[in-house]
Amino acid sequence: MGPNGDPLSIVGDETWEDYAVAATVTFEQPTAAAAAADAARARPRAPPAPRAAPRGRRRPARPPVSAGASNAAVFAAPCNAADGAQRFAYDAATGEFSSAFGDGPGCLTTCGCTPACIQTYECAYGGCGGGDNSSYRWTLARGGALTVAPFPGLALAAYPLTGSVALEPAAPGAAAQTWTFNAATGAVAAPALGVCLSQLKPSATYGAVCGRVGAYDGFAPSTTPAYCIALYASGAWALLVNSAPIATGNATSAPFDPRAPHRLALSLAADNVDAYLNGALLASVVDGSFRAGNAAVGSGWHPAQFDDFEVTAPYKRPETV
């Protein structure tokens, strides 16, 4: 019911706790063909057969929807008014966001009861808690927060660097949770971030080193349960916790060469998480989301090479950061 995950090579043991993991990454910009293949891979797998509607409920008949037609993963992508995958309709009376992307109508919903996974799915299909997807009443508040009835206290958040969206604890005024809807263009946009909801995954060229990786199903992940330091071909970097950026920046003020080898390292000791690039400390945070897990390297759907992979004792944390 979700998109295929990006490639991730996992080694080690799920009981590993405190350690440092490092690797040297070299990658190239994807070709147009690779970008098209990336978008195709982002389409979710065929859904299971729809369940019968609950007794006592009647809905207008809909035309049959073929597998994969009305369902698509939802991402945050640069706004493009001509992109049909970014066109939605909103019924304020019912709170229903719908899209005609594909061969049939689909409603904005979560992947089952998983708030970290957002998708469109056939509107009459059984949703979280047994109701159909049209019972997912979305409310676009005056301040821009986009909330949904089954998940009180959470609001839709966008992460442009990774292209992901998820329901997160509501934070009034947060740029990542401030949305608008344009009925003329159909765009559901986060204006401060320059992104719109999209049913096509934005292409991203990056290499990552990860630690304390938990259970990961590459066929249908909503997030990567781990700490990761990711370096992008643009020269941007991000320290990710469960796929959400917790610290970001640029690798250098000089022109960045994505084809040159770059050393990524992640040091984990208790709740201390330190990220390094080419021996320089990028970020130090205190976070207790993950206590143990495997080490890994990963990338987007593009050529990438990793060398000199190693797992050692945690690095000595600098006195000041």
Please report the pLDDT score of residue 42 as a whole number.
Answer: 42
Asked whether 193 and 160 are in contact (CB, 8 A), the reply is yes
What pLDDT does residue 218 have?
Answer: 63
Q: Which pLDDT score, from 0 to 100, does residue 296 have?
A: 97
DSSP code at position 149? T
pLDDT of the residue at 58: 40
CA dihedral 210, 118, 216, 14 (to 10 degrees): 70
Give the pLDDT of residue 105: 75
Q: Which amino acid is at 214?
A: G
Q: Nearest-CA neighbor of 231 among 311, 163, 299?
A: 299
Q: Along the chain (321 residues), what's the average pLDDT of each consecutive run of 10 residues?
A: 73 96 82 44 40 36 36 87 90 88 79 85 77 81 91 92 88 94 95 92 86 79 86 88 87 76 96 95 94 94 90 83 45
Residue 301, helix vs strand vs coil: coil
Q: Which CATH superfamily is domain 8-35+203-312 in?
A: Exo-inulinase; domain 1 (2.60.120.560)
What residue ranges do the domains of the chain occupy?
8-35+203-312, 43-198
Which has the closest alpha carbon to 302: 246, 233, 250, 221? 233
What is the number of other CB atoms lying within 10 angstroms of the CB of residue 149? 13
Cα separation of 134 and 267, whole Å?
Answer: 45
Give the DSSP per-residue string, 19-77. Answer: EEEEEEEEE-PPPHHHHHHHHHHTSPPPPPPPPPPPTT----------TTTS-EE-EEE
Torsion of CA 78, 236, 244, 218, to 10 degrees: 90
Domains 8-35+203-312 and 43-198 in one fold: no
- Distance CA(221)–CA(3), nearest Å, equals 7
Question: How buried is 308 (Cβ within 10 angstroms: 0-12 exposed, 13-18 middle, 19+ buried)?
Answer: exposed
Judge whether 121 and 104 are in contact, CB under 8 Å: no
pTM over 0.85: no
CATH number for the region 43-198 comes to 2.80.10
Length of the chain: 321
